[in-house]
């Protein structure tokens, strides 16, 4: 297992270089000039623009810029954005916020999703199963921004139970509503996945054996059935963590959360190359690590899976 993990970690290096280069080139070919854009409709000042570009090294060929960027990255320097703020600072502000939101959302997603799925799976074909099916279908078919607006409208604007926006991103009670909205869609998928595997595995040989052995029902469901049914769920939740960290743009926007999605969105809008590359670089690392973690988790869940 140790060798396997080491090999996987080594594989990350070329993937890392490849993705950063791609992102760097893509940002570079975005139409328009971010320095010129500062001037907007107003009269641009070519001499000043040239000077600012020189300062940021934008006047050099793109590969040379990339080389310098990587060199600085090795020293732990992510560069700075056009306002002169270090990208590392920007990320240090945004990542904890998104991480908190993600953790909360994943927790909600797992508890409700697995719970609903198990409940429905154990009662496959009965009214409860249909109820869950209808509920999950409804949730899946509503786009997340509709869900967000409706949730805010009902719970904040009308009932006044919760603040409409996140004022303090360290407060879990304020993050609850956005986390819930963020979790809804995945929660529905998790419920469906859990339900199917539960219903399927209920008929599996090992369950029949366990029943025949006379094991208590609780142990059969809680240990044998749940553990075996979780593999596809873990895969799904794992990829979701990556998705939440990198792409909660819509939810973050609706609820005024200054997280990674929002940072990335603004950076792309203003063609802030250094910010985009920095954030995506970190995201690539995070997703690679999460994938490794998921693969290692398989072995924990199913002892038959071994890595060498």
CA distance 68 to 276: 16
Cβ at position 158, least distance to other proteins in Å:
6
Q: Which is nearer to other proteins, 123 or 227 (CB)?
A: 123
Pick one of 7, 9, 59, 157: the residue that binds other proteins (CB under 8 A): 157
Name beta bridge partners: 86: 80
| Binding of other proteins by 240 (CB under 8 A) | no
Burial class (CB in 10 A: 0-12, 13-18, 19+), 129: middle
CB 84: neighbour CB atoms within 10 A? 8
Among the residue ranges 14-22, 134-142, 278-286, 294-302, the one whose residues contact other proteins (CB under 8 A): 134-142
Q: How far apart are CA 131 and CA 278, in angstroms?
A: 45
Q: How far is the CB of 217 from other proteins (least distance, A)?
A: 29
- Identify whether the C-beta of residue 248 lies closer than 8 Å to the C-beta of residue 186: no
Residue 247 or 295 with smaller CB distance to other proteins: 247
Q: Please measure the distance between the N-terminal and C-terminal CA atoms of the chain and give it in whole angstroms.
A: 6
Q: Which of 13, 14, 167, 173 binds other proteins (CB under 8 A)?
A: 167
Residue 185 CB neighbours (<10 A): 19
Residue from the set 86, 96, 164, 243 that interacts with other proteins by CB under 8 A: 164
- Report, in Å, the least distance between residue 200 CB and other proteins: 22
Residues 18-37 that bind other proteins (CB under 8 A): 30-34, 36-37
Question: Which of 48, 209 has the CB closer to other proteins?
Answer: 48
Partners of 80 in the β-ladder: 86
- Cα distance between residue 2 and residue 6, in whole Å: 6
**Footprint of other proteins (CB under 8 A):** 30-34, 36-48, 51-52, 55, 82-85, 89-90, 93-94, 130, 133-134, 137-138, 149-150, 152-154, 156-158, 160, 163-165, 167, 252-258, 262-263, 269-271
């Amino acid at each position: 297992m140790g060798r396997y993990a080491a090999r996987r970690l080594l594989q990350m290096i070329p993937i890392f270089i490849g993705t950063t280069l791609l992102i760097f080139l893509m940002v570079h070919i975005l139409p328009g000039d971010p320095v010129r854009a500062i001037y907007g409709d107003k009269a641009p000042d070519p001499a000043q623009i040239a000077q600012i570009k020189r300062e940021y090294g934008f006047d050099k060929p793109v590969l040379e810029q990339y080389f310098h960027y990587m060199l600085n990255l090795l020293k732990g320097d992510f560069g700075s954005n056009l306002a002169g703020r270090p990208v590392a600072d920007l990320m240090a502000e945004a990542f904890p916020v998104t991480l908190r939101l993600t953790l909360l959302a994943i927790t909600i997603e797992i508890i409700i999703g697995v719970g609903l799925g198990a409940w429905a799976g154990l009662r496959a074909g009965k009214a409860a199963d249909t109820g869950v099916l209808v509920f999950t279908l409804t949730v899946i078919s509503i786009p997340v921004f509709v869900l967000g607006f409706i949730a805010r409208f009902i719970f904040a604007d009308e009932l006044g139970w919760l603040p409409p926006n996140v004022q303090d991103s360290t407060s879990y009670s304020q993050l609850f509503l956005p986390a819930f909205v963020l979790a809804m869609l995945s929660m529905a998928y998790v419920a469906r996945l859990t339900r199917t595997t539960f219903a399927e595995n209920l008929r599996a040989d090992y369950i029949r054996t366990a029943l025949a052995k006379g094991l208590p029902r609780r142990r059969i469901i809680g240990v044998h059935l749940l553990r075996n049914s979780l593999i596809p769920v873990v895969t799904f939740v794992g990829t979701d963590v990556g998705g939440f960290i990198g792409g909660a743009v819509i939810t973050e926007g609706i609820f005024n959360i200054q997280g990674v999605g929002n940072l990335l969105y603004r950076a792309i809008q203003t063609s802030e190359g250094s910010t985009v590359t920095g954030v995506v670089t970190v995201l690539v690392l995070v997703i690679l690590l999460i994938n490794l973690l998921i693969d290692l988790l398989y072995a924990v869940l199913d002892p038959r899976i071994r890595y060498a």
